[in-house]
Structure 1
């Protein structure tokens, strides 16, 4: 095996490990938010440092491969894609931490009403986001642009939940003014989760770029779906 092949294999393993860590962070942050488990939320906050350390290592590895081995063609596309995917994974880790902090900051006397969780479909939103991350990792492991393209369709549901949430939360606060703080927190969480979806689609775009040399950036969703 050539040295550059060894370096690329090592890079792929590092990205895969970070992916698994970020997936667990988002799962734990979601569980903490839904159940009000502050101990689990603190665990997410403390593990964010591991995500940041992974990001720095992967960035450095990508830069070293380009500087030392001058990769070309698919090897170059792989390294460039990993560099950008790494950034998106770190952002997902940041969002997980922010949701965990929301759970820690919400006063014990104002827990989230299960009815609000149900009406906003936030649990369904979380499940879809975890599914998108899993799909992206499967596409990465199997080197499948067809699997990656499914993420674009899933993001539509995330957008629909986000768009409908404002009116739902406003109506809830109107009926339950004593729970206004929890309602506002929920609105912030849903906006962050919508951004989760955007970062997942960014990752899918980078995987397709790596595998097919096709640039999906700036295409609208209809164009992306038509291209796959």
Structure 2
């Protein structure tokens, strides 16, 4: 294995590490949120330093690869894709941090009936499936699996669109949950943005594998 191939593998593994780390952060943030577990929330916030360190490492390794090996064709697409994927995964970890910060700053546990009303579990389980699709697509260069993410993102968009009216209805039933309801609304928005970032990652995987830039495709 030559040096360029070795460094490419190092970058590839770092990208996978960031994928797993961002998923772990979001999973812990979700558990902390529904259980009002401030200790777990603090753990997520502390691990943010590890996320930031890995983010910087990937960025520097990509810059070094470009400078040393002057990549062309698929290698260049790979490096470009990894840099963009890394950005989106780091942003997902930021949302996990934000959700955890809500937990440490709030006093009351979110009522389960409120979470059920906004379909919180459905939203999060959809994100988990999107992460699984992304992981499979990234590791096995599977474009077909990457494309499954787009349909799932529409589920998140729909839940997000309905969330305002649902929460408004729940507040009318019990105006003592206004603070908790607004918090849930904010978290729903963050999860919807997580879906957008995962969709971006799927697009970059497809771009890397097929040189297909979805954002500029014209409708036929």
TM range (shorter): over 0.9
How far does residue 131 in structure 1 lie from its aligned partner after superposition?
1.5
Q: Is 1:190–2:188 an aligned residue pair?
A: yes
Distance 1:219 1:121, change over 3 A: farther
| Aligned twin of 1:116 | 114
How far apart, in 2, do the equivalents of 1:173 and 1:219 lie? 43
| Aligned twin of 1:74 | 74
Tell whether the 8 Å contact from 2:25 to 2:44 is kept in structure 1 after alignment: yes
Tell whether the 8 Å contact from 1:26 to 1:130 is kept in structure 2 after alignment: no
Q: Is 1:129–2:119 an aligned residue pair?
A: no
How far does residue 219 in structure 1 lie from its aligned partner after superposition?
5.3
TM value normalised by structure 1: 0.93
| Aligned twin of 1:63 | 63
| Aligned twin of 2:142 | 144
How far apart, in 2, do the equivalents of 1:100 and 1:53 lie? 19
RMSD over aligned Cα atoms? 1.3
How many residues align structurally? 220
Tell whether the 8 Å contact from 1:99 to 1:189 is kept in structure 2 after alignment: yes
- Equivalent position SS for 1:111: coil
Tell whether the 8 Å contact from 2:29 to 2:41 is kept in structure 1 after alignment: yes
How far does residue 2 in structure 1 lie from its aligned partner after superposition?
2.1
| Aligned twin of 1:216 | 214
| Aligned twin of 1:12 | 12
| Aligned twin of 1:170 | 168
Structure 1 unaligned residues grouped into runs of 5+: none
| Aligned twin of 1:31 | 31
How far does residue 179 in structure 1 lie from its aligned partner after superposition?
1.1
- Equivalent position SS for 2:126: helix
Tell whether the 8 Å contact from 1:208 to 1:214 is kept in structure 2 after alignment: yes
Runs of 4+ with deviation above 6 angstroms: none
**After the TM superposition, which of the residue ranges 200-209 and 130-139 deviates more from structure 2?**
130-139
Tell whether the 8 Å contact from 1:52 to 1:90 is kept in structure 2 after alignment: yes
2:199 pairs, out of 198, 201, 208, with 201
- Equivalent position SS for 2:214: coil
- Equivalent position SS for 1:217: helix
| Aligned twin of 1:42 | 42
Structure 2 unaligned residues grouped into runs of 5+: none
How far does residue 65 in structure 1 lie from its aligned partner after superposition?
0.5
